[in-house]
Structure 1
C-alpha cells in the first residue's frame, strides 16, 4: 500500500480488516466458557490474580524471548508496542497514536505524549530508536533480530515523531510491531542492564516487574502511574506448577484463579467442578512432527516421505487429544493470513512408505530418536508415532527432556533427529511462521530442520515484499506446497487455547496468538 498524505488510523484499520477478509478467515467467534451458576458475588477491583503455569518463562527480554508462553508474562502487562492487536486481531494504536506510510519503504509514527517508563524515563522517539537499534545490533546477538532485518534506519524527526525506513518493502511490518517482539524498552534500562535485561524488565505497561524466583514464580504489580486505563488488579503472580493435576486442583480450591497448559484429559474434570469452568478459544498455532534434515538418514527425501506416509494423524487427534483441535495440513493455522486451503498432506499409505524406504536403501528400516519434552500430550504423541513407525521397520526411541533442554537442543546443539513440537503465531501473518521456520537465515529456535533451499527462500522473501494481497496469498500457497513436497514436517493439529478459570474471575481472555489478556480481569468477592 502506497501513500503520500496522512492516513487516519480508522481508515488504515479498515484496510487491514478488508485485507484479512480476503483470506476467508475471521475471528468473529467468541471464546467459549462453560459457566456454572455460583452464588452471586460482588465484582470488585483490586486483589491478587494467581496464574498456575506448567513452565517458567525462561526469558523476559523481548529481544530474546522464543515462545509466546514466555512472552505472555510481560507482553501487554510490563511491555507495550507502538501498535497492538485486539481480540479480533485488528491493529490498534498503543504507544503510537497514528501512523502513515510515506512510500514503499518509509513508515512514520506519531507518538503518545505523557507516557513514562516504570523507571521514570520519558517515553519518546529516542526510546523507540534505541529499542530497535538494540534488537538489530549484532553485538547484542538478539535471537529475534531476523524479524527486523528489513529495517534500514530508525530516524527521530522530533521528540514525538519517528520514521522507520526499510531496505525494501516489508508488508508484515505492522504485524511485527504489534507482537511481543515490537515491545518498546526503557533506554535507561538498556544502558543499565544490557544482556541482563531479562531479569529487569522495564516498560510502559499497566504492571511493573516486581520479582522473579526461578522455577517458582514471577510477580507483577500495578503501575500506579499508567498512562491508560488503570488495571483492575493489584498484583499478578505467575506460579510454576509442573504437575497438571495440581495446577487444576489449585484453581478448584481457589488458591489460583487461572491454570494454563490444560491437558485435554482434564477437560471433563473441570466441567464437572462447581468451582471452575473451562475456557476455549480459537488459536493460530499448530503442532507437528519435524525432521532434522542434516542428520542421516533423514537427509534423504525418500526417508522423510516414507515417515510422512506412515503416520496416521487422525488417530493422534482422536486418541491423544480427544478431538480437541482440528487436523492440520501446514505450520500455518487456518486463521493465519497466507494459509493454503488447497494444500494436501501425505495420505496414510504403509505400502508406499515401505517402497520409499526400500528405494532409499533401508528395506529393513533403521533406528532413530524422537525428541520431545515433559508435557504428557507430546509424550503420548511420540508414543503413537513410535508405534506407527514400527509398521515400516523403523525403531524409534523416545527421548523426553525438560523444556529448557528441548529448546537448547533445537536452538543450539542441533543434535536431534525427529522431534515433536509446535509453533505459535504472534502476528496473524504467514511471514511469522515462514521466515522463522524455513528461511535459511531465519535463525533462532525456528529453523530446527537445518533446512536451506534457495527457491523457498526466494518465495518467503517475495511474500515479505509483495503488497498485493492476492499475490501474497499465491506466494505463500507455493511455499507451503514446496515445504510439503520436501517433507519437512508432518503437521497433525491446529491448536485451541485452553485454560481452567475459577468462577470468581470475570473478563479473562486469550488472544488467537495465545497471549493472556488480563486488562479486563476482575475478581468477585
Structure 2
C-alpha cells in the first residue's frame, strides 16, 4: 500500500513557507546571532499556560517552571528543588528544600511557597491527573522542609511530584482565579511575555540557582500545521521544531531530523467478554494474522519500532526482562490459534491521529486474509471514545501513552487491563492480571518493580487481550549548529541551560 501522503504542490508549498516565515519573523539565524533560540511548538496553549493543565508541559520544555523532583531516563526520582527526601512511614514523606533558590520575581523559595503550590493543585477542579484518586496533604514544619502525606500508602509520591503539573510557582502566580506563570518560575529561563495562542518569549534568568543558561532567551511560536513547522526548519526560520510529520521528513536534510522513541504504543485491543474474541483461540488467530513489519514500513515509513510487548524502547529496561523465565513461561500458555472462516468482527479507530485509519486499512486486509470479515468504524475520537469504553467493538486500534505523569507504566496497565480500570477497552477482568498489577503497585520504584511490571505485561499478553502493534517515535527537528537540546521520550524537556543555537 502506498501511504496517502502526496507531495505538496508548488503553490501550496509557497504558501506554507510564507506562513512559516511570518510566524518566525526576525527568528532563525538572526536570533542565533544574539544567542536566542527559536522554537516551533506543535500546539498552542489550551488553558493560558496554567500549570494545572497540560500546558504545564510547555513550561517544563522551556525550563521556566520546576518541580521538587525530576526523573532520569529510567523513571527514577532525582533532586531538583528538593535536594533529598525520605519515607518516614507508609503514608508520609519528608522533603528537604534547596536553599539558594529564588523565583523570577526575586522571592526566595521556602516551604511556604511549596505548600501553597501543591495545595492549589490538590484542591483544583479538575485535579491534575497525576493526583487523580490521590488524597494528598502538605505541611511545612520549618522553612526548609516539606512533609507530604497521603491517605493510603503510595510508593510513587516522589515520582508524582515530578509532574510538570505540580510545578512550584511564586505567590504572584496565584493572585487571580487563573494561575499565571509569567515571571513566577524558578528555572534558568524566565517567561516574560505570552502572546495568546501565537507565541511566548522567555529571557535568561541570571540569578538561577543552577548552571547559567547558555542561550540568552527562547522565542517560542505555536505552529499547529505540521507542514509549516517543517518549512520553518527547512528555511532556517526555527532552530528547534517539535513533532515533524513523517510525511515531511523526505523534504528535509536528514542531518536535521532526530527520532526519539516515545512511551506510546499502537495496540489492537480485543473484546474479551462478548463477540468472537470472547474465545481465546480466536484472539490468538487475530494475533497471528498481523504483520507488524508491514505496518511500520507502509504507514510509518520505517519511523516506528515493531512491538514485542506493551512497553517499548522508550523504557530501555523492558526488553531485557522479557527473557526472564517466568515471563516466557506465562507467554507459553497462550491459546493455539483457531482456524477462522467468515467470522464477522467490527474494527474501530479514530481520525485524530492521521496514521490510525491507514493502520486500520492494513489490519482489515490482514485479518480478512486470515478468514475474518471486517467492518470498520472510523470517527473522530470525541465521537467514538464512549462506544469503545462500553465494549461496542470487537477490536479497537488505539495509540496509547504507556507511561503517565509519574514516569511509571503500572498505572497505565491497571487502567487498561485491571477489572476496575477506567480505560479497559478490552473489557478484561482476570484475577491473575489483577494480582500481578497489585504486586507491582505495592513495590517502590526500582529493579523489583520493573520485574513485576513485566510479569503483569506477560499476564495480559498471555491472554491475547491486546495485540501490541508498534511503538511510535517523535521526530524532532534541530537546525545546523544547534546543540544541547534535550531529546526526551516523555516530552517534558526540550530547551535547558545547556542548549545553544550556535553562532
TM superposition score normalised by structure 2: 0.75
8 A Cα contact 2:269 2:397, kept in partner: yes
2: distance between equivalents of 1:298 and 1:57?
43
2: distance between equivalents of 1:517 and 1:50?
10
2:251 equivalent in structure 1: 269
1:373 equivalent in structure 2: 352
Q: Deviations over 1:194-227 (max 9, x none)?
A: xx4489795333232632534xx34142264544
Q: 1:315 aligns with which of 289, 294, 319?
A: 294
Question: Cα distance, 1:238 vs. partner?
Answer: 3.5
8 A Cα contact 2:68 2:161, kept in partner: yes
Structure 2 residue ranges without an equivalent (≥5)? 1-28
8 A Cα contact 1:289 1:420, kept in partner: yes
Question: Cα distance, 1:365 vs. partner?
Answer: 0.8
Q: CA RMSD in A?
A: 4.0
Q: 2:230 aligns with which of 233, 248, 253?
A: 248
2:155 equivalent in structure 1: 171
8 A Cα contact 2:156 2:445, kept in partner: no
Q: 1:498 aligns with which of 461, 475, 482?
A: 475
2:38 equivalent in structure 1: 49
8 A Cα contact 2:156 2:444, kept in partner: no
1:81 aligns with 2:63: no
1:159 equivalent in structure 2: 143
Question: Cα distance, 1:317 vs. partner?
Answer: 1.8
Question: Cα distance, 1:191 vs. partner?
Answer: 5.9
8 A Cα contact 1:382 1:398, kept in partner: no
1: distance between equivalents of 2:190 and 2:387?
33
1: distance between equivalents of 2:276 and 2:106?
54
8 A Cα contact 1:63 1:145, kept in partner: no
The secondary structure found in structure 2 opposite 1:75 is helix
Pairing of 1:417-496 with structure 2 (within 5 A): 417=393, 418-425=396-403, 427-439=406-418, 443=422, 455-467=432-444, 469=446, 471-496=448-473
8 A Cα contact 2:192 2:203, kept in partner: no
2: distance between equivalents of 1:57 and 1:451?
36
Question: Cα distance, 1:313 vs. partner?
Answer: 1.6
2: distance between equivalents of 1:346 and 1:313?
18
Question: Cα distance, 1:87 vs. partner?
Answer: 6.1
1: distance between equivalents of 2:34 and 2:421?
44
1: distance between equivalents of 2:436 and 2:298?
36
8 A Cα contact 1:369 1:398, kept in partner: yes
1: distance between equivalents of 2:170 and 2:418?
31
8 A Cα contact 2:262 2:489, kept in partner: yes
1: distance between equivalents of 2:453 and 2:121?
27
Distance 1:413 1:181, change over 3 A: farther
Question: Cα distance, 1:396 vs. partner?
Answer: 3.5
2:173 equivalent in structure 1: 189
Distance 1:382 1:184, change over 3 A: farther
Q: 2:210 aligns with which of 228, 231, 234?
A: 228
Distance 1:438 1:198, change over 3 A: farther
8 A Cα contact 2:51 2:167, kept in partner: yes
Q: 1:352 aligns with which of 329, 334, 337?
A: 337
Question: Cα distance, 1:280 vs. partner?
Answer: 3.0
Q: Deviations over 1:283-338 (max 9, x none)?
A: 35132224384996488354655533332222112322343343223332242556
The secondary structure found in structure 2 opposite 1:189 is helix
Question: Cα distance, 1:81 vs. partner?
Answer: 0.8
8 A Cα contact 1:279 1:499, kept in partner: yes
2:93 equivalent in structure 1: 107
8 A Cα contact 1:45 1:523, kept in partner: no
1:397 aligns with 2:383: no
2:363 equivalent in structure 1: 385
Q: Deviations over 1:136-185 (max 9, x none)?
A: 44x62325155672x65322111220122344543333333233344234
The secondary structure found in structure 1 opposite 2:257 is strand
8 A Cα contact 2:155 2:445, kept in partner: no
2: distance between equivalents of 1:378 and 1:234?
38
Q: Deviations over 1:81-111 (max 9, x none)?
A: 1121356766432111232333444322111
Structure 1 residue ranges without an equivalent (≥5)? 1-39
2: distance between equivalents of 1:455 and 1:188?
50
Distance 1:488 1:204, change over 3 A: farther
Distance 1:308 1:63, change over 3 A: farther
2: distance between equivalents of 1:411 and 1:80?
36
Question: Cα distance, 1:266 vs. partner?
Answer: 4.0
1:15 equivalent in structure 2: none
2:257 equivalent in structure 1: 278
8 A Cα contact 1:294 1:450, kept in partner: yes
Distance 1:259 1:185, change over 3 A: same
8 A Cα contact 2:117 2:168, kept in partner: yes
Q: 1:326 aligns with which of 287, 305, 308?
A: 305
The secondary structure found in structure 1 opposite 2:490 is coil
